Structure 1
Amino acid sequence: MAPRQPEPQFAWAEEDTPLTDNQRLDMRAQERTLDGAMWRTAVGSLTAGLVIFKSFSSDLYRIGLVMLGLSLCITLTGLVRKATTPLRIHEHLHYRSAGNFVAFLAVVGTATSLTVVYMLSII
């Protein structure tokens, strides 16, 4: 029995070679992580920053700015990851986790949390 060939309709848009079943599975996992977690978190941080701007006094505007900065970092990280997904799919045979992106976002999130706690302590 001959090995199953990938179907052409599942080829990546920028590439001529069709994706295998494993590559499609990896691509869906990366897109699910990007679309699910990163965009939800970015929108949540953006909403929190805007609520702080609209609802509270001018003393807390800086905290709103920090939340907007967090939202911007998450959005930019998501865009970079989205742009590099086709390269990862075609270069690696196995699923590669987003370890570097997660580490970067962990550092940004920790810095944001510490900054907000510090700002609340000096008010």
Structure 2
Amino acid sequence: MKTKESLVRGHRRESVLLTLSELQDLRARQRTFEGAYWRTALAAFSTGLLILKVFSREFYKIGITFFVFGMAMLAIALWRRRTAGDVFDLSIPFKTSGNWVILTTIVTMATYIVMLVLLFRL
């Protein structure tokens, strides 16, 4: 069965020679596209673990909230990667997707609201 390969300027992605400018653009796309979501998820997991290990039982719900936020960001990152198509094709202009930004904003705002409610109940 033949699979569809992603092409850059008509060549397989693995065999194309890129200029320095194109290589920098490709790296910037990768940092923006994948790195931000993964870093946010790891930071949320780390913060949740720190809260669960250092603080008393009253703060456990806040630590769990950070874990849930990290899972949501990880899910968004994976979902975005699977539905993005070939975002690293240099012949297509890079455009930040507004729908993903809105989804991330909603998840983040919901997390902050839950944390504020939990902090006020302490």
Normalised to the residue count of structure 1, the TM-score between the two structures is 0.72
Runs of 4+ deviating beyond 4 Å: 24-30, 87-90
Give the alignment of 1:86-101 within 5 angstroms. Answer: 86=85, 93-101=92-100
Counterpart position of 1:117: 116
Whole-angstrom distance in 2 between the partners of 1:63 and 1:34: 28
2:85 match: secondary structure? helix
Shift of 1:27: 6.6
2:83 aligned with 1:80, yes or no?
no
Amino acid at match of 1:8: H
Change (3 A) 1:100 1:29: farther
- Which one is further off, 31-40 or 97-106? 31-40
Shift of 1:97: 1.9
- Which one is further off, 26-35 or 111-120? 26-35
For CA contacts below 8 A with separation 6 or more, give which structure has more relative contact order.
2
Is the 2:48–2:65 contact (alpha carbons within 8 Å) kept by the matching residues of 1? yes
Q: CA RMSD in A?
A: 3.1
Counterpart position of 2:36: 37
Q: Which of 9, 13, 19 in structure 2 is aligned with 1:10?
A: 13
Shift of 1:88: 6.0
Q: Where do 5+ consecutive residues of structure 2 fail to align?
A: 1-7, 17-22
Q: Which has the higher helix share?
A: 1
Normalised to the residue count of structure 2, the TM-score between the two structures is 0.73
Whole-angstrom distance in 1 between the partners of 2:87 and 2:33: 14
Aligned-pair identity (%): 28
Shift of 1:89: 6.9
Give the alignment of 1:64-79 within 5 angstroms. Answer: 64-79=63-78
Whole-angstrom distance in 2 between the partners of 1:121 and 1:59: 12
Shift of 1:29: 5.1
Counterpart position of 1:57: 56
